[in-house]
Amino acid sequence: MSKLIGPLQAVDGKRKTTYGYKMHANTDEDGFVKKMSYTPGNVHDSQEFDKLLDTYKTKDKIKTCGEVYADSAYANKKNNEKIGKQNNKVLHRAYRNKPLTKQQKQDNKQRSSIRYVVERTFGLLKLHHGLGKARYLGLARNKARAQLIAMSHNLKTGMNIFKEMQRLKRLRGYCVQ
């Protein structure tokens, strides 16, 4: 459990002070980063939820585009109402003296099989681009760096998909002859 001290500071465990930032991202099924936000480490995930949603406006209200697969940290009443019943695919969370039911465990397993794309994207950003550590002092510079890294990741992902499509075209061409 960490206690908040300042905008970037948190006490973790026995008086060990840590500084940090968090990147929140909206990715599609191919791993492209569609939207992102970058915050100090002491901002709760659920506060960034609105900025990440793909939404469109109707006459009477704002609706989400498609299903939302999110980590349980984004779950709260306000966010659940915003998503709606049929689009809500947020992971279930167990609480003290209230374990998950069999159905909730099954739902989490199915949802995790789709959410791995987001986790894989974060893993690639940390492994290949050094996003696991803040390189600069200040939120603005680190946010700009994270945005540039996300753009380069999207270009790389697009090229990999294009190469795979070209490879499949060549294979089909060989099979037809």
pLDDT in tens, the chain (177 residues): 444 444 555 555 566 666 688 899 988 889 999 999 999 888 888 888 878 877 666 656 656 666 777 776 777 777 767 766 556 667 777 788 888 889 888 887 887 777 888 889 999 999 999 998 888 888 999 999 999 999 999 999 999 999 999 998 888 876 544
User: What total of structural domains would you count in the chain?
Assistant: 1
**H-helix or E-strand spanning residue 4:** strand 2-4
Note whether residue 169 is domain-resident: yes
**Domain membership flag for residue 5:** no
| AA identity, residue 111 | R
Per the CB < 8 A criterion, the answer to whether 8 and 101 are in contact is no
Query: Is 10 within a domain?
Result: no
**pLDDT tens by residue, 11-49:** 555 666 666 888 999 888 899 999 999 998 888 888 888
Name the nearest CA neighbour of 23 among 113, 93, 126.
126
Alpha-carbon radius of gyration of the chain: 20
Report in angstroms the alpha-carbon separations of 84 from 53, 80, 134, 140: 13, 6, 36, 34
Residue 79: CB atoms within 10 A of its CB come to 19
CA distance 22 to 132: 9
Residue 124 within any structural domain of the chain: yes
Range of the domain at 75: 22-176
Q: pLDDT digits over 1-20, tens only?
A: 444 444 555 555 566 666 68
Confirm whether 139 is domain-assigned.
yes
* pTM, entire model: 0.73
| Residue closest to 95 by CA, chosen among 75, 112, 110 | 75
Asked if residue 147 belongs to a domain, the reply is yes
